[in-house]
Amino acid sequence: MPRVKRRLVAVGAATVVLATTALVVVLVVLVARRPEVVVVAPGRDVTAVARSHPGDVLLLAPGRHRAFRLLDPVTVRGAPGSRVEGGVEVRAGGTRLEDLSVHGGGVLVRDVDDVVIDGVSVTGADLHGIEVVDASARITDCRIRGLASPFAQGIEVRNANSRPRTTVRRCTVVGGQEGIVAHVSRVDFEDNRVTGTTLRAIAVTEMSEGVVAGNHVAGVTGVGVWCGDMSHCEVRGNRVDGVAAADNGARSSGGHGVAASFHSTLRAEANRLDGLAGRPVGLFTGSVRTERFPLMVWPPGWRGLLSGVPYVIAAGAALALLARAGRSALGRRRPSGASLASSPGVDPLVAGAVLGGFAVQSFHMVEHVVQAWQVFVAEGEHRSGLLGATFDVEWVHLIFNVAVLAFLVSVWRIGRTQGWLAGSGGAVPWVLAGVALQGYHLVEHLVRMGQHLVGGVPRPPGLLGQVVDLTWLHFAINTAVWFATGVAVVAMIRSAASMLAGRAGPRTAGPEVVALRG
């Protein structure tokens, strides 16, 4: 087998070994900490059971259960025939509520992130069916009806502008003054059904940023979809059937399909608006309608990126310290006569693989730059980079990071064997430092995978993500690894250029010069 083919086979084998090792580690984590299913009988204190079983699944047995408060992340699942009398309060990030039936009270999520509320039914609550306060949640397939107060709101998200976006999807709200509403928050309200409200069916108000898409509003009073108080709203693909005018005398509540008020910015398109007492789209008190995506028009500015500078400096310092330690461990000796000119050269197939890997890592860096811009500057609807809307899953991140580590190890091994890495002087310690940082990066993703599969956390923090910003942490690590990879690419190009110059040989006198000497 030719030498280059043997090396490529070795690279492939190393990648398979690393991927298999990563999968084994994940499986070990799953086996070591599989969530226990704890059946909670009616009458038991769910709060106390949750405190003694963090990370586990609490299955509420058929019957009536008292109101409870969750201070530790657990999954609370309602069995058919179970019923919670009173409210449920969530104070632990990563908590999941599934298939609960709540009567005589609502669900409150406060001061936490990454809460999942799926298939929850709320009946007979007073002011709020589901309330998210200074928190973020993913709310899906919920049902809210029978609200007691005439001023009640089915689902309210408020004071959560500094939190990740809250999503409400495929929920049904019947009655209340407002069906689904956001105050000072970033939200996505999609594919919901709201009927019987007395003022606003769906509202994005008080300096909020929201997407209202694919919802069905029917038989309501006042306004179908409301954008108010200096908010930015994207309203598209909704169906509004039947809006009567409210009796409060306000022009903005005159039975409009979509309305914006008090210096709000609205983009409304592809909405079906029928049976209206007022206008299809009403603009009041300085509000404007735009054809552009309003959530990306007025970013807070480039200063939002300054928070990432300490992370990049820390990652760069870690890379430099690791390179220095590697240089000390390897010693400053170089092979006898080693130089760029004397290195054996670079195989074209290997050069193509190295440049291709560096290009992939460079695109990955572009992804992280775009994500940082989306999160800290534009505060946009989509915050997962360019391809994140399609591929933002933990398995993809894990496999990619295994491949990057295998690539770096292969560059270090092949580069030293061929001589172009060792012959460049100080490149080897930098590549080894990149291997060490990427090794830690892989550990972060292995832990994240365990958290995602075991705890069902939609955006797992990993090791350091619980104490530092997750976006900047991975941005900084990827920047340092990209730099280390770039050092190897530069060493390879310099070696190839020196080899080509050596083959050209010294210049000799041309015929004209010889003739003059004669």
Q: Cα-Cα-Cα-Cα dihedral of 68, 71, 72, 74, to 10°? A: 30
What is the predicted pLDDT for the residue at 502?
65
Residue 121 and residue 15 share a domain: no
| CA-to-CA separations, 367 to 314, 391, 415, 438, in angstroms, rounded | 21, 12, 28, 17
The one-letter code for the residue type at 242 is: G
Residue 44 and residue 14 share a domain: no
What is the predicted pLDDT for the residue at 371?
81
Residue 142 and residue 84 share a domain: yes
Residue 52 and residue 9 share a domain: no
Residue 12 and residue 119 share a domain: no
Length of the chain: 518
What is the predicted pLDDT for the residue at 227?
97
CB proximity list for 320: less than 8 A, separation 6 or greater: 433
Q: How many CA atoms lie within 13 A of 178 on its CB side?
A: 21
Token couple for 125: 């609550």
Question: Residue 311 domain-assigned?
Answer: yes
Q: How far is CA 511 from the centre of its chain?
A: 69
Q: Cα-Cα-Cα-Cα dihedral of 68, 69, 75, 79, to 10°? A: 10
Q: Which domain holds residue 106?
A: 38-153
If DSSP states are collapsed to H, E and C, what string results for 49-114? HHHHCCCCEEEECCEEEEEEEECCCCEEEECCCEEEEEEEEECCCCCEEECCEEECCCEEEECCCC
Between CA 243 and CA 251 the distance in angstroms is: 14
Tally the domains of the chain: 2
Residue 18 and residue 45 share a domain: no
65 φ/ψ angles, rounded to the nearest 5 degrees = -120, 145
Between CA 423 and CA 345 the distance in angstroms is: 10
Question: Residue 73 domain-assigned?
Answer: yes
Question: Residue 31 domain-assigned?
Answer: no
Question: Residue 335 domain-assigned?
Answer: yes
CB proximity list for 416: less than 8 A, separation 6 or greater: 422, 428
Residue 398 and residue 356 share a domain: yes
pLDDT in tens, 345-371: 677 888 888 888 888 888 888 888 888
Question: Residue 341 domain-assigned?
Answer: yes
Question: Residue 110 domain-assigned?
Answer: yes
Between CA 466 and CA 452 the distance in angstroms is: 14
β-strands 137-140, 115-118 pairing: parallel
With a threshold of 0.75, does the pTM exceed it?
no
Question: Residue 219 domain-assigned?
Answer: no
Residue 16 and residue 135 share a domain: no
Question: Residue 381 domain-assigned?
Answer: yes
The three-state secondary structure class of 379 is: coil
Between CA 375 and CA 253 the distance in angstroms is: 35
Token couple for 503: 């083959």
Token couple for 5: 């083919």
What would the DSSP string read from start to end of 443-454?
HHHHHHHHHHHH
Q: Which of 153, 178, 209 is the last residue of a domain?
A: 153
Q: Which of 130, 153, 176 is the last residue of a domain?
A: 153
Residue 120 and residue 10 share a domain: no
Token couple for 325: 């330690």
Token couple for 245: 């005018």
Residue 144 and residue 10 share a domain: no
Residue 134 and residue 18 share a domain: no
Residue 349 and residue 453 share a domain: yes
Using 50 as the pLDDT threshold, list the residues of the chain that sit under it: 1, 4-5, 8, 11, 30-32, 296-300, 332-343, 381, 507-518
pLDDT in tens, 436-479: 999 889 888 888 888 777 766 667 888 887 788 888 898 999 99
Q: Which of 138, 153, 168 is the last residue of a domain?
A: 153
